[in-house]
Amino acid sequence: MNKINVIGRVSQDVEVRDINGRNCANFNVASQNKYKDRNTNQYGTNFYRVTAWGQAADTASRFLRKGHRVGIVGDLVIRDYIGTQDGAKHTVVEINNAEIDLIETKAEAEAKANAQAAAPAAPAPAAVPQGFTQVETSDDLPF
C-alpha cells in the first residue's frame, strides 16, 4: 500500500485542466517539518505537488485558495525529469488521486490569531467567600 497523509497550506491557487474528458486539478501544498534544523534553528518546509481527479478536482477548484490549510491523503509518486531550460535532472514529489479536506481558510486563521492576541489574560482566582476555607488540591489520588 502506498498512501501519504499531509497537512499543510496551499501555496498557489488551483489549476484545473481537462484531460481526456476528465477534470484534473493541480496545486502545491507546503508542509512544515516537525523539527528545527540544527544549523539555522528554523523549521524546514516540504512542498508537494497535488493532483486530484474528477469530483475531487471540481471541489478543489471551487473551495481551495492560496493560504488555506488542508489535509491531503493520496498515493505518493516520486518521479525524475530533465529540465528543458537547464538540462538538469530534477525530482518531484507528488500526491496523486488526492482526497482533500479543508481544515481552515486563511481568513479564519488570521481571525483566530487576532482574537488570541486581543484576549485578556486569564482572570485572577476568585477570593474565597466568607465562611469557607480554602482547600489545597492536588492531582494525587487518595488510593
Residue ranges of the domains in the chain?
Answer: 4-34+41-108
If you compute the radius of gyration of the chain from its CA atoms, what whole number of angstroms results? Answer: 24
User: Given this model, what pLDDT does residue 64 score?
Assistant: 92
Q: Lowest mean pLDDT of 7-16, 59-68, 89-98, 122-131, name the range.
A: 122-131
* Residue 137, pLDDT score: 65
Strands 69-82 and 22-36 turn out to be unpaired
pLDDT at 57: 93
pTM recorded for the entire structure: 0.69
pLDDT in tens, 34-83: 888 888 888 889 999 999 999 999 999 999 999 999 999 999 999 999 98
Q: Specify the DSSP element, H or E, that contains 115.
A: helix 106-118
Q: Which residue has the cell 479564519?
A: 108
Question: Which H helix or E strand runs over 58?
Answer: helix 54-63
The pLDDT value recorded for residue 141 is: 57
What is residue 68's three-state secondary structure? Answer: coil
Q: What is the pLDDT of residue 40?
A: 85
Q: Give the list of residues 6+ apart from residue 54 with CB closer than 8 angstroms, or none.
A: 22, 23
What CATH code is assigned to 4-34+41-108?
A: 2.40.50.140
Are 1 and 73 contacting, i.e. CB atoms less than 8 angstroms apart?
no
pLDDT band at 16, cuts 50/70/90? Answer: very high
Higher pLDDT, 73 or 105: 73
Backbone angles phi, psi at 109, to 5 degrees: -65, -45
Task: Check residue 37 and give its pLDDT.
Answer: 80
